[in-house]
Structures are given as structure tokens and as C-alpha cells.
Structure 1
């Protein structure tokens, strides 16, 4: 036979040609899938409003959300949106004692600064987060909890550690919570440690809604009715412990209120409440959008604005204006008074010190200045 027809392994079929075209790679995946269903038409969505039976996984998620909402004392985020959570603070009105209910102690979420949480008080030790404005908080410590209950702060649950030493404050807190219908939950000390993020709690904690600040206009108007008006303004104090200490000093030396900026400053958290030893329930606290503008508005009403500054032009012991309507401005922990606030003050005062100390802590300086103002007013 001619050629190589006797070759072993010769091809006996025609060479394979090109595969038939598909009209483009993954053409089927480019086909339209129709309109996007709204939430109330999706059986798997929490906003589903139909009567069709929910899938098992969706029903489990919604049941889980209901249990979490019961523990945190808030409406469940299922179906149509509900009303916002009740807030607490001065001027909150009647108390609202809701049950924490559900599984034992420990809500969902992570605690924020001190002992405040996003969506609940539970937290791993040492963890911190930035809670939302409407998130519930956990007040801890025997004095702060008792003061909050006396002030009828609308608590939603009282947590008491097992095996703690019972004293008059614990007895009063439990009795007051029971009288108001607040759920009382006994938990282990380890569980309470996790809920508070390692903050010293003394075996007791009260879960409350977020703090409600006093309107600034109402704060100034109420203070102006006092025979010797005195307000404290905080210029960028970022440590909640310093804020709580200033509020405590303001209550001790007769100030009628405290106000500070909304941004780049500490707000009332469980840590500041605890540091104030409950004084936040007696002293109105307000937040303003612009501190300089708020101070100028008070100056037009006849207030004298005094700024604390280590290099102040006047000695605190020569503060003759202390007997009139005064706003005492305390600067931040690091930089002191900001430039605009310092320029707005009517005068700046320094605290005489015997030794070569660079400066005092913001809350300590505020306490010293408030004590001097109170002394001058008492002598008058």
C-alpha cells in the first residue's frame, strides 16, 4: 500500500472542528431576572407582610430577634417599624418599667465605653465599641443604681450578682425595682463582668434607655430664675470620667446645669453616670451644636463667661464677678480652652499653685473653681 497507510496509530476519523457557538460566554447569566421584589413581598425578609408560611430559616431569625428584643426591653425589629425607644434623663416624665424577660441575663451586642452597649449590655472583657445614640445602657455601682431608681429613671432590668454582700443600698434597689415592675434578674458575677466589660460594678447593674438631654434654652431659662445663677460649660472634655466628676462637683457647689458640644466631646454614658455618683439625676445636662454660639447667646442675656486657663489674666482668688450670673468654662484635658472659646470668654482665670505643677486635671480644676465661687457667694 502506497504511502504510510500501514503506520500504526494512524487517525481514522476526520479532525474535530470548532465547537458550535453559544452566542457569548455565560450568555444565560446575562438574562434579566425581572423586577426586584419589595420587602413586604419577600417571604424571607423581616418586613414580609403576607400570609404565606415563612421559610424555616427566616422564622428562626425572627424568633431570635423577638427574644433579643425582650431581653433588651425594646420593640422587635420585625414587620412595620415601631416607635423609638424611650429615653431617660431629666424631664423624662413617668417611669416605664419593662421586663427584660426571655433567657437569663446578658443581652446581645458589645458594650461601649465603660458599660454601655450597642443593642444590649453583653460584652467580652476588655472590648469597647461606639454605641448609637439610642442604644440602651447599663448603669453599675450601688450608689448610681440607687440614685437612678430614686430619680425614677425608666429602667428595664435590674441585674444582681449571686452571692454579693447585701446592704441597705442593695435592699432599697431591689425593693424599688420590684415596686415599679422592673424585671430583677439574678446572674453570676462572671456574667455581670462580661456585661459591663470589666468595669467595677459592685454586684449590681440597671439597664436603662439612652440619656435624654435637657434643651439648652430650658437649661438657661431655669438657671436664670435662681438668685445666684451658675452654669458650667465644657469645651471638648472627652473623658466620660471627667464629665461625671464635673457634674458631681456642679451638684455639690450649687451649679444649676452643665452643657457641652454634641461633637468631639464626651456624653452621658454609664461610666460618666457612675463617676457622678448619681448627680446626673439632679443636675440638668444639655448638648449644643456650637459652644461658641451658645456662650455668645448667654452673654447677650447678661451672663459673665469665665474661662479656666493656666495662663489666665486674673487669679481665681480675685474673681469679683463670682457673685453674679456666671458661666464657668472648663477646657479639654490636653489643649485646654480652644481658640474661639477662649477669645469669647469675658475673662480668663488661673488657679494659683504653690509648686511647679504644669496643670491640673480638668475635673479637679473645675472643682477648685466651683468651690471658690461658692465660698465668695456664701460670704456675700
Structure 2
């Protein structure tokens, strides 16, 4: 890995970074932007393809161990002013990287090869072959910060597979990646078009499905005994889980709360559900 000095923000090698601000508002079907030293380091240490890294000299020095693991990745070093001009706004984080999306997380790509109605069979087959697993399915989440927080919680509590509604927010948007603190690069995740079919596939493989909803049929979370194969469904911030997903669940579960509080918000509620149901694994959990 030999960093290349760049002094011109219009250098053609920085063309992808000039689209950074636009990528914050609409998904690019093939690329994403990772920002901040922590997030870029986690990307570099993952197995995900990286197109390039753009950084200041000081950040580059601190990233040397991570960069050394990816000698094939071009590294461009520039002053803060050049970096700011290249990305198009007052960029304070000092380091960014362009990553390549895996096909299972290609939002807004409707080409035949990536217009996935369901999770690829091999991603479902792997957890289904285990005696114990946890799958989390998040439906209709419109806020990328909530999606990122749920990715982070899934990683923290040992979720084997996170399924995300392709109609929801992009998990590889800038805001979602920041909220996930880069954990999206280590968490097994995929976008789903037909959520009901995915849940039914898991049920046929022996999973018990819990729908998180405060409805009258719900049992309190503390009364639920975690099964070996567990699927947890969480719904959109405003509407909650639709009837079609509740209908294919085995049981509805709710977090008991004091009167007058209607919800915790989907990210906080999901973290509590995972702590209770994903199972404590490892020292201190």
C-alpha cells in the first residue's frame, strides 16, 4: 500500500467522492460511502470490496495497520481543504472510502440480476442448518438512523441473520452506516422483497416466530422462554407490523411499559428484545 498524493479536488481519481453528498439522499445501486476513521477501519478489516480510500495524512498514519491488510486498495492523501472541496461540503471526519455493495444489499437496483424477491437461498440455508440461531426481520423502517441502530444491536447481541425490508431505508446510506458504527460490514444482512415468504421458509425449517407488537394478544416479554431457533419480527416506526406478518408468526410479544407510554421507538425496543431473546453469549453478557 503506497498512498498517492492528490492536490486537485477535480482529479478524475476522486470522481466517486464528488457524489458523496448526493449519496446521502438517494442510494447508489453499486457503491456506498464510509466515513470516519472507525468506520473506514472496520470496512478495511472486513471482507467487503473497497474501491478506494481518501484521507488526510494524519488519518492515513493511524490507518496504516488496517490499510496494510488491503494492499490492493488505492489510497489518496490530500489536505483537508482538498478533501472538503472534493466531497462538496465542510467535511470534518478526515477520511472516507468508497465501498462496493454486495448484491443482497443493492437498494434501488431493479435490474434482473439484483431485483431480489427473496433472500438468496444459501443465506437462509446456513442458519437453518444450525440447531440454534436467531434471525431478526425488520419491516418498513423509513429512518436510516433506526436501521443503523438495529444493525448495531443485531451485531451486539449475536443475530445470525438480519433481514431488511427492501421498501425501507437503505442500510448503506451514510446516515445508517454512521448509526451502525460500521457494524454493517460484520453483520450478516440481506434485503427482502417478500417478507412473508421468508418467514414461512424459516418456520418450515423449525423456527419459532415472535412478532413484536403491543396488541391485546401479546404476551409480556419476560414470560417468553427462548426457543433454540428464534425469529423476531419488528415493524415500522409508525404503523408497526402488518397483519400479514402477524398472521405468519407463532406468538405476539410486547415489552411491558408503564401506562401513558405508547412505545420506546423501534431501535430501543429491538435492542431490548434481542437482549432478552437472542441469548447471552460470552463473558459479561
TM over 0.5: yes
Query: Residue 361 of structure 1 corresponds to which residue in structure 2?
Result: 265
Root mean square deviation, CA, Å = 3.3
Deviates more, 1:304-313 or 1:186-195: 186-195
Per-residue CA deviations over 1:34-83 (Å, capped at 9, x if unaligned) read xxxxxxxxxxxxxxxxxxxxxxxxxxxxxxxxxxxxxxxxxxxxxxxxxx
Identify unmatched segments of 5+ residues in structure 1: 1-96, 109-118
Give the secondary-structure state (helix, strand or coil) at the position aligned to 2:164. Answer: strand
Name the residue aligned to 1:352: 256
Contact 1:242/1:362 (8 A) holds in 2: yes
1:12-27 correspondence to structure 2 within 5 Å:
none
Instruction: Return the structure number with greater relative CO, CA threshold 8 A, min gap 6.
Output: 2
**Match of residue 160 from structure 2:** 256
Q: Structure 1 pair 348/181, CA: closer, same or farther in 2 (3 Å)?
A: same
Asked if structure 2 preserves the Cα contact closer than 8 Å seen for 1:235 and 1:329, the reply is yes
Return the match for 1:297 from 198, 201, 211: 201
TM-score by length of 2: 0.79
Structure 1 CA distance for aligned equivalents of residues 253 and 27 of structure 2: 36
For the 8 Å contact 1:238–1:264, the answer to whether it is kept is: yes
Give the C-alpha shift of residue 237 in structure 1.
Answer: 1.1
1:308 pairs, out of 208, 212, 222, with 212
Larger Rg: 1
Larger displacement relative to structure 2 (331-340 or 264-273): 264-273
Shift of 1:369: 0.4
Contact 2:44 2:67 in 1 (8 A): no
Alignment match of 2:277 (pick from 369, 373, 377)? 373
1:220 aligns with 2:100: no
What residue in structure 2 maps to residue 266 of structure 1?
A: 170
- Greater shift, 184-193 or 281-290, is seen at 184-193
TM-score (normalizing by structure 1): 0.61
| Aligned counterpart in structure 2 of residue 172 of structure 1, from 62, 65, 82 | 65
**Compared with structure 1, are the counterparts of its residues 199 and 241 closer, same or farther at alpha carbon in structure 2 (3 Å cutoff)?**
farther
Q: Secondary structure at the match of 2:18?
A: coil
1:130 corresponds in structure 2 to 26
Contact persistence 1:232–1:255 (CA under 8 A): yes
* Contact preservation (8 Å) 1:106, 1:121: no
Larger strand percent: 2
Contact 1:161 1:189 in 2 (8 A): yes
Match of 1:156 in 2: 51
> Number of residues paired by the alignment?
265
Is the partner of 1:120 in helix, strand or coil? helix
SS in 2 for 1:359: coil
Unaligned runs of 5+ in 2: 106-118
- Which of 207, 214, 219 is the aligned partner of 2:98? 207
Contact 2:56 2:79 in 1 (8 A): yes
